[in-house]
Amino acid sequence: MSKRVAFITGSATGLGVQMAHKLTQAGYQLALNYRHSQTAALQLQQDLAQRYQVNARLYQGDVSQQADVVRMIEQIKLDFGHLDILILNAGPFIHDKLKLVDHTPTQWHDMMSANLDSFFYLVKATVPMMEKQNWGRIIALGFDQIDQVSGWQYRGAYAAAKTGVAAAIRTLALEEKDYQITANMVCPGDIKADLKEADIEQARKLAPNQTKRKAAGEDVARVIAFLCAEDSDYLTGNIINLAGGENIIHRHD
């Protein structure tokens, strides 16, 4: 059997970089999506080639646009012949604190389109292929305590979109279990921008005198790699909080 193929959305920067490294180390072939960050995507492709002697393929496209999703998935099928793993990493976040009613209609639409609509487009394009193969892994990213459907002050649009994804993930887990397709969500905590592409050792070096280090992108990548494994076939429908015991969504300051 040929190597499993993993498609990572929004992989050129941030958490996607560590995901790409970790899955390459685990022996997967990679299809890497980017929207605007072509330079970063090419650099990641080069880094993977130099470090692991692999040829990750790049796919430019906006996952909030169904036509782009269909085009990319069709090209992946041509390039690899199959697609086994879908990692939904792309998804915007509004950093400004906004009450729910202070979002503009455009901001609300953008949050829904890029986080929730994109999920639907991607699973619609990939799940039928996984069903034919009788194997698949679908992993989305959420936020701390999403399984409790907690309100998130000043992050209402993002919270609403991602909570919808969480419900859809659990629905997929129920509907696709007979096809050996698992669906799970990983929910990182507060990972600082300069640590999203970092490994755990780098995070430790930044806090040598502290008993608890900061979170790093590798923390997320390690969990995702575990969920992708052949023997993780009994893990499905899970919302996995990865916040180091912190209460992220109730920080209002």
Confidence of residue 253 (pLDDT cuts 50, 70, 90): very low
Instruction: Determine the pLDDT at residue 51.
Output: 96
| Residue 37 resides in a domain | yes
Under 8 Å between Cβ of 86 and 137: yes
Span 90-113, mean pLDDT?
92
Write the pLDDT tens digit of every residue in 111-134: 999 999 999 999 999 999 999 999
**What domain range includes position 54?**
5-242
| Residue 104 resides in a domain | yes
Instruction: Determine the pLDDT at residue 189.
Output: 85
- pLDDT exceeds cutoff 60 at 251: no
Write the pLDDT tens digit of every residue in 201-239: 888 888 766 667 888 889 999 999 999 999 999 999 999
Write the pLDDT tens digit of every residue in 6-61: 999 999 999 999 999 999 999 999 999 999 999 999 999 999 999 999 999 999 99
**Rounded percentage of the chain residues whose pLDDT exceeds 90:** 74
Confidence of residue 104 (pLDDT cuts 50, 70, 90): very high
Instruction: Determine the pLDDT at residue 151.
Output: 77
Q: What are phi and psi of 6, to 5 degrees?
A: -115, 130
Write the pLDDT tens digit of every residue in 63-87: 999 999 999 999 999 999 999 999 9
Under 8 Å between Cβ of 136 and 181: yes
CATH label of the domain that carries residue 127 = 3.40.50.720
At residue 124's C-alpha, the angle toward residues 119 and 126, to 5°, is: 95
- pLDDT exceeds cutoff 50 at 135: yes
How many domains, in total, are found in the chain?
1
**Identity at 63, one-letter amino acid code:** V
For strands 5-8 and 29-34, give the pairing.
parallel
Q: What six digits make up the tokens of 83?
A: 């697609």
Average per-residue pLDDT for the chain: 92
| Residue 248 resides in a domain | no
Instruction: Determine the pLDDT at residue 147.
Output: 86
Integer Cα distance of 77 and 89 in angstroms: 20
Integer Cα distance of 157 and 159 in angstroms: 5
For strands 239-242 and 29-34, give the pairing.
unpaired
Confidence of residue 252 (pLDDT cuts 50, 70, 90): very low
Residue 239, SS3 per DSSP: strand
| Residue 219 resides in a domain | yes
- pLDDT exceeds cutoff 60 at 195: yes
| Residue 129 resides in a domain | yes
| Residue 42 resides in a domain | yes
| Residue 228 resides in a domain | yes
| Residue 251 resides in a domain | no
Span 139-167, mean pLDDT?
90
Around Cβ 155, how many Cβ atoms within 10 Å? 19
Confidence of residue 1 (pLDDT cuts 50, 70, 90): low
Tell me the pTM: 0.93
- In the chain, where does DSSP find H-type helix? 15-25, 38-52, 66-80, 105-111, 118-133, 156-176, 200-206, 217-228
Integer Cα distance of 28 and 230 in angstroms: 12
Q: What six digits make up the tokens of 251?
A: 């920080």
Q: What six digits make up the tokens of 188?
A: 């990182």
CB-based burial label for 105 (10 Å; 0-12, 13-18, 19+)? exposed
